[in-house]
Structure 1
C-alpha cells in the first residue's frame, strides 16, 4: 500500500515526491501504522519493486499480497485522475463499509470506487465488495489486469473469474500498466463456458476520459457472421462436444435426431447470450424441442417457454453464468432475443407483446454437407435482413 499513518497521527503518502534518500531517512526516523487496523507496517524501499508499506501481520481487511503490477497500476490510475482534475484519493479507508478501494473518486456529485485486480480472488469476496459499495451508493469500477485474457483471432478465452468483471455496459475493462493502456472487451457472444466472440478496443490511458468507463464502446467491424459460421461448423464436426455432453445426446436421440445434425435454427448469435455458459446450439436446441411440441398456429406465451427454460436450468442441463455487475439484465432477455430471431426467420409469428405462434417446423439437415450448407444460407438470410442482434429488445 502507498499510505500509512505516522506516530503523531499524520498521513504519509508515498505518492508524494519522495527521493530514495529521503525515504531512507524517513524509515530511520519514523514508525508507520496501517490506517485501517493501526498495526505497525514496514516501509519497503527496493530497487526492483516500487516503494510501499507492508504489514508485519495480516491486516483486518487485507486479503491478498500486492504485486508490483498492482502497485504500479494503482499509482498510474491515481495520477491519471489527478491530471484530469478529478478528485481522487488512493487507498481511502471507508469505515462504514470497512473497505479500502484502490482509488476513491468523487466526480459530478457521484462517488466511485476504482478497483484494479491483478490476482484471482474468490467470487464470494468479489460479490461482497461490490454489494458493499452499491449499498453505500458508491459506483464500483472494476478493472482486470490484461494478463487474464487470451486472444485467438476473433475469439477470446475468459475464465469464470474474468467474467465477474463483465459490467452493465456489456464490457470487461482491462488495464496494462506496462503499456499504460486501458482495453475494453465488448459485444461478447459466448460460444462455450470459456470461449467467446468479442471486439477489443484499446485506448492509451493519457488520452482517455473517465466517462469511458460508463459508456458502451461502439462496434468496429462486422466479422461476427464469418466467425460464427466457422464455429458452427466446428460444433457439427467435433465429436468432443457430444462425448462430453451425454445429456444433450440422450435428449436429441429421444427426439429422433442425430446430435451433430441439430436444427439450422439452433446456434444463432444473440446479444444477451452472455448469460449462458452452455453453448448456444445446445440451449437453443432444447428450446426448439419445446416449441416443436406446441401444435402449429396455437398461441403460446414467452412465460410458458421461460418456465421450461427454468426446468432445464434446475436439471443442470442449461448453466447460467454468474455476472454480479450485470444488474440491468437477466438471462430471460436472451430467450426473448431468440424468439425475435425465430420470428425474423419465419419459424414463429408474433401475435402479441409476449405471445407467439409456430408457423412452420424446424429445418433438420439429413447429412453433414446439407447441415453446413444450410447453416450458411440461414446466416446469409439474417445478414440480408440486416438483423442487429445487439438491438435492445422489449
Structure 2
C-alpha cells in the first residue's frame, strides 16, 4: 500500500520520496495499517515503487485485495487534493450502515460524500448495489473513473460501454462523467454527453489540473459547447443506409428479422426513426432500433386523430437518481416535427403519417430535410 499512519497518527505516503528519505524514515518512524492498525514494514528497491506492506503473519483484509499501484496512487492523489482544500477526509473509512469501505469519505456542510475511484471494469449490478446502499444511508456517491478506462475516438467521441453508462450523472440538464488522470494529475469532466451507439458517445471533455480546480467546481454549469452533434449524427445515418455489415450482434440481427417480417429493409427506415434524444446516452439499445419499433408498433397502426400512448415504460436512471424517459423525449421530437400534437398530460394525438422510403435516394433526401429542420431548432439540446 502507498499510504499508512505514522506513530503520530498522521496519514503519510512514500510515494515519490527519494531513496535517502525513505531509508531515513525506515529508521525513525513506525507505520500502521489504516484498516487493521497493525504495524507495517517499508519495502523499496530498484524494481518496485516504495510502499508499505504487512508482515507475513498478518490476516488483514487489505493484504489479499491486490490493489493496483494506479488505483492506490489515484486515491492518494484525491486524498491530498481534498485535504489541501480543508476537508477532513478518511481513506477507506468503514461505513457500518452500508458495510462498505469507500475509497474516500468526507463531509461538506451537512452532506456526507463517498468517492469511489474505479479503475477496473465491473458489472453494472455491483455499481448499482453499492450506489443504492450509499443513497439509502443518505450518502452522496461520487464515482470517478480511472483514465485507463478513457478512450477518445476523435475530439468529441468517447468509448461508451455498459460500464460507462452505469457511472453517469445528470447535472444542470446534461449528462456527464468524471475521470482522473493520475499521471497528469488532471480531472476530466466529460459532459453534454449524447449517445451514439452501444460503444461510443459524443461528449465535450474538459481537462482541469487538480491544482486549479476545487471540489465544488466539479458540479458547476458550463455553457453548451459550440460543436454540433448533428454533423456526426448525419454521418451515422448515411453510414447505416449505405454500408452493409454482414456480421452484427444478436440484437441487431433480431431487429433486421423483425423488419423483414414487417416487409421492410433496415436501410430504408424513415429518417425520424433515427433521431437524437438527450437520454440516449444512458439507454443500452441503439436509437434507430428502438425508434423503428416504436413507430411500427405504436404509431403506424393508429389512424390520424388517435391518441399515441407511451406504452413502452422505458426508464433510465443515473447515479444521482435522475429518471430519464427516452420514449417520452422521442415523442416530444415527433411533436416538433409535426407528426403529433400534445392534448393533455402525457397524451399526444397523431397528426400525419410517417412513410417508409421506397429507395435509397429518397431516404437520403429525407435525411437532409430532417437534419436541416433539427439544425434550425435552437431550443433543442442536441
Is TM-score (shorter-chain normalized) higher than 0.5? yes
Aligned to 2:337: 345
Equivalent of 2:272 in 262, 265, 268: 265
Deviations 1:239-278 (A, max 9, x none): 2288542321222223322211001111100111123221
Aligned to 1:297: 305
Deviations 1:128-156 (A, max 9, x none): 33233223322111111112121222322
Displacement after TM superposition at 1:352 (Å): 1.2
Question: How many residues get paired?
Answer: 372
Displacement after TM superposition at 1:78 (Å): 1.8
Once the two structures are overlaid, the 10-residue window that deviates more, 219-228 or 263-272, is 219-228
Q: Is the 8 A contact 1:266 1:281 kept in 2?
A: yes
Aligned to 1:248: 255
Shift of the 225–360 alpha-carbon distance from structure 1 to 2, 3 Å rule, reads: same
Deviations 1:55-89 (A, max 9, x none): 45674477842223223222222222222223323
The separation in 1 between residues aligned to 2:12 and 2:274, in whole angstroms, is 53
Does the alignment pair 1:354 with 2:346?
Answer: yes
Equivalent of 2:241 in 236, 241, 249: 236
Equivalent of 2:312 in 279, 298, 306: 306
Matches within 5 A, 1:135-154: 135-153=136-154, 154=156
The separation in 2 between residues aligned to 1:203 and 1:233, in whole angstroms, is 36
TM norm structure 2: 0.85
Displacement after TM superposition at 1:157 (Å): 1.5
Displacement after TM superposition at 1:187 (Å): 1.9
Aligned-partner SS, 2:312 = helix
The separation in 2 between residues aligned to 1:384 and 1:132, in whole angstroms, is 44
Does the alignment pair 1:173 with 2:178?
Answer: yes
Deviations 1:276-313 (A, max 9, x none): 221101100111112111111012333xx325xx6xxx
Shift of the 133–294 alpha-carbon distance from structure 1 to 2, 3 Å rule, reads: same
Does the alignment pair 1:53 with 2:52?
Answer: yes
Displacement after TM superposition at 1:178 (Å): 1.4
Shift of the 60–216 alpha-carbon distance from structure 1 to 2, 3 Å rule, reads: farther
Q: Is the 8 A contact 2:165 2:282 kept in 1?
A: no
The separation in 2 between residues aligned to 1:138 and 1:31, in whole angstroms, is 34
The separation in 1 between residues aligned to 2:62 and 2:159, in whole angstroms, is 31
Q: Is the 8 A contact 1:116 1:144 kept in 2?
A: yes
Shift of the 33–94 alpha-carbon distance from structure 1 to 2, 3 Å rule, reads: farther
Displacement after TM superposition at 1:235 (Å): 1.5
Aligned to 1:280: 287
Does the alignment pair 1:131 with 2:132?
Answer: yes
User: Unmatched 5+ residue regions in structure 2?
Assistant: none
Shift of the 19–249 alpha-carbon distance from structure 1 to 2, 3 Å rule, reads: closer
Deviations 1:189-221 (A, max 9, x none): 222211112221111211112113334543212
The separation in 2 between residues aligned to 1:366 and 1:325, in whole angstroms, is 43
The separation in 1 between residues aligned to 2:101 and 2:38, in whole angstroms, is 16
Shift of the 133–61 alpha-carbon distance from structure 1 to 2, 3 Å rule, reads: farther
Displacement after TM superposition at 1:227 (Å): 0.7
Aligned-partner SS, 2:341 = strand
The separation in 2 between residues aligned to 1:97 and 1:165, in whole angstroms, is 19
The separation in 1 between residues aligned to 2:59 and 2:336, in whole angstroms, is 59
The separation in 1 between residues aligned to 2:103 and 2:11, in whole angstroms, is 13
Q: Is the 8 A contact 1:242 1:248 kept in 2?
A: no
Does the alignment pair 1:327 with 2:332?
Answer: no
Equivalent of 2:11 in 10, 13, 16: 13
Shift of the 324–349 alpha-carbon distance from structure 1 to 2, 3 Å rule, reads: closer
Shift of the 16–23 alpha-carbon distance from structure 1 to 2, 3 Å rule, reads: closer
Aligned-residue CA RMSD in angstroms? 3.0
Aligned to 1:115: 116
